[in-house]
A and B are shown apart, each in its own frame.
Chain A
Amino acid sequence: MNAAGPSPAEASGFRDVVRLEGVDMTFGKVRALSAVDFAVGPNEIVGLLGDNGAGKSTLIKIVSGVLRPTAGRVFVRGREVALDAYSARRAHELRIETVHQGQTLGERQPLWRNLFVGRQLVDRLGFIDVAREKEITNQLLQRAIGFRGEGITADSTARDLSGGERQGIAIARAMYFEADLIVLDEPTTALAVNEVRKVLAFVAGVKAGGRACIYIEHNLAHVHEVADRLVILDRGRVVGEFARGDITLPDLTARMIALHEAPRGDR
C-alpha cells in the first residue's frame, strides 16, 4: 500500500517541505508558542522533543491545519500558505498527514469510515463507494501495525480496538494517503515492545521512501535512533537544535532533565 517511487521534492526545487517563521500561539493569557522558527526538509526526519506543556502538540496542530497561529507565517514547499484558508482538509490536500495523540478515530464509527473520512471515495454523483472503501480497508488491516488478524474487519468499530491497534490504523491511514510529510505525535505510547520496533521501522521506511517525518516522542532513545535532526522545545520556544551525531544520548538526556528542573524564569 505504500506508494513507491523517488522523492518528489528535489524536482520542484524547494528547501523545506514545511516551514514556520516567527510563529506565536496564544490562548487567552497563555503563550503556548513564542517566535518559533521550525522547518522540515523534504527527506528529513525531525525529532521534536520537550517536556509536557512545552508546546509540541500545539506546533503539530499548526502544521496540520487544526490550529491557526496568532502570529507568524507558514510555508509549505516554499509557498506561503494563507492562514485563513489553511485547515486540516487543506493540509491533507497538501499531502501532510498527521497521527495525533489519542484523538484521531471516531470511536463508534467502523474502520472503513475512519480510514476514509474527509476524503471519501465518491462516484460522479457524490455517493460514497462503501464496498470499495471496505475492500481497501480490509487489505490495509493485513499489513497494519499491531493487528493479528483476530476477527477485526473493516466493519469493526474503533472502540473494539486496543490502543495499539488504533495507532496502527491511524498510521495505516497516513501511509495510504501517501503523504510527503507524516507527523507522528507520540505514536508508541500504547504499543507493546515489538510493535514499537515496527513503528521505528516504519519511520525509517518513510525516510527511505524519500519523504519527511516529524516525530514526537518522550522516549529519547527511540528518537535519537531515527532522527536526522532534533529540535527541543521548552515553554513555547526553540531552545536547542542538533543534527544527528552532534549529541550523544546521555548528553541529550542530561539536557532534557536540566530543562525539566530549571525554574520557571521570566514569563
Chain B
Amino acid sequence: MATADPAGRSRPRRRRPRRVEGLPILGVLALLVASFMIAAPEVFLGHRIYMSFLASVPPLLVLAAGLTLVIAAGEIDLSFPSVIALSGWVLAYFTHVLGSPWLGLALALLAGAVVGYVNGVLVARIGIPSIIATLATQFLWGGLTTVFSEGLSYALGEVDRYVLWHLLVGRLGPLPVQSLWALGVAAALWVVLNRRRFGEHLLFIGDNVRVAEVVGVNVAREKTRVFVSMGALAAFASVLLTFENRSFFNTQGQGYLLEVMAAVFIGGTSVFGGQASMVGTVAGSFIIGMVEAGLVATGLQGFWVRAVVGMVFLAAVIGHLLIEEPERRAAIARALRGRLGIGRAARRDLPARRRDSTEV
C-alpha cells in the first residue's frame, strides 16, 4: 500500500542515518560505569569486579546475541532457559560420569540445535506463533531434563584438569576466557546480520513477511535456521555457564529469561522485527549484568534494583523510539507544546495545520 500523497509531492521526511551503530546505548553504559566509579571507587576502580563481570556476563551475552537474530526476524524464543538446563545436563553427564568433555560439548550443542529445529518446524512449517510454541517447548525440554537427570544436580569435580575447560572458561592471567568467546560470538553474529545474506533475509522477514516472499526469500527455511542457531547458541551459553560453575544445577537457566530479553530490547533492537543492533545487544548485556552489583556497591538497597532496571529499560526503549521514528517524536513534541500552551498548536484561533496538507 503505497501511501497516497494527495498532491503527489515528496514529503521531506528526511532523517540523517546514524553513523555509529549503538552510540546512545553505549553512552548509557559509559554513564553507568562512570557513576559507579564515582559512587564506589574502591570497587569500580579496581580490576576484580570487572573480572567478575567478564565471568558472569558471557552466557547472558551469547544468549542475547542469538535472540537478537530471532527477534530481528519478527519472532521470539522463550525456550532457551530449558536449553540451558538440557545442554548443561548433557555436558555434565558426559564430562563427570563418562569422562569425555569433548563429546559432551558436541552433544550439548547438538541437543540445543535439536531443540531449535523442533521450534523451527513448529513455527515455520506448522505455523504456531513463536511465543506459544517456544513457551510449550520450554516446559517440554525442562521437564525432560529433570527426567534424564533423575532430579540430581552434579558437581563436575576436578573439571579443570581437562584442556577443554581451560580452552573455554580458563584464565588468561586474571581474564576469564569465556569473555573472549562471547565477544567473538557477538562479532560473528554482527557480521551475519550486516554482511551475510542470511542476516538480510531475517531482517526482511521481520520487516514484512509478504515483501520477503516477493523478493525471493525462502521464509520457512530461514526461520527454521534462525531457531536452530538460537538453540545451538543457547547450548554454547550453557556450556560456558556449566563449566564456569563447575556444577550442573537442575534448575539452571530460569533466572535468565527476563534478563536476556531486557538486554536485547535495551540495546535498541525493535520488538517488531526488521531492525536490530548487535552492538546495542552487547551494551545492553553489560548494563543488565552490571547494574545490580553496581547498585549494591553504591549502598543502594537491593530492593531498588528492579525499579532502577525498569527505569533504564523504559528510558532506553523510549529513547530508541524517539530516535527511530521522527514522526512519533514530532507528534509527541506537538502534543506537549499544545499542553504547555506554547506555539501554534496551542492557539485556538488558527486552524490546525494538517500533517499532510501541501501547497497545491
Contacts and interface: CB of A to CB of B under 8 A. Distances in A.
A110 B215 CA distance: 15
B274 A109 contact: yes
Interface stretch (B27-35, B199-207, B251-259, B290-298): B199-207
B181 to A, nearest CB: 22
Contacts of B17: 110, 153, 155-157
B2 A66 contact: no
Contacts of A164: 2, 5, 8, 10
Contacts of A146: 10
Nearest to A89: B216
Nearest to B198: A126
A166 B7 CA distance: 16
Contacts of B217: 117-118
A109 B8 contact: no
B216 A160 contact: no
A106 B15 contact: no
B245 interface: no
Nearest to A105: B211
Top 10 nearest A-B pairs by Cβ distance?
A: A192-B8, A163-B2, A118-B216, A89-B216, A190-B2, A106-B207, A151-B14, A88-B216, A108-B274, A155-B17
Contact of A127 (B5, B13, B195): B195
B359 to A, nearest CB: 13
Interface in A106-155: 106-110, 113, 117-120, 122, 126-128, 130, 146-148, 150-153, 155
Contacts of A113: 200, 203
27 contacts: A87-B218, A88-B213, A88-B214, A105-B211, A106-B203, A106-B274, A107-B208, A108-B270, A109-B207, A113-B200, A127-B191, A127-B195, A128-B200, A146-B10, A147-B10, A148-B10, A157-B17, A162-B9, A163-B2, A163-B5, A164-B2, A164-B5, A166-B2, A189-B2, A190-B4, A190-B5, A192-B7
B351 interface: no
A120 B208 CA distance: 19
A103 interface: yes
Contacts of A161: 10
Contact of A108 (B13, B196, B197, B275): B275
Given A113-B200, A127-B196, A102 B12 contact: no
A100 interface: yes
B210 interface: yes
Interface string A81-108: 0000001110110000010101111111
A107 B207 contact: yes
A160 B14 contact: yes
A43 interface: no
Contacts of A88: 213-216
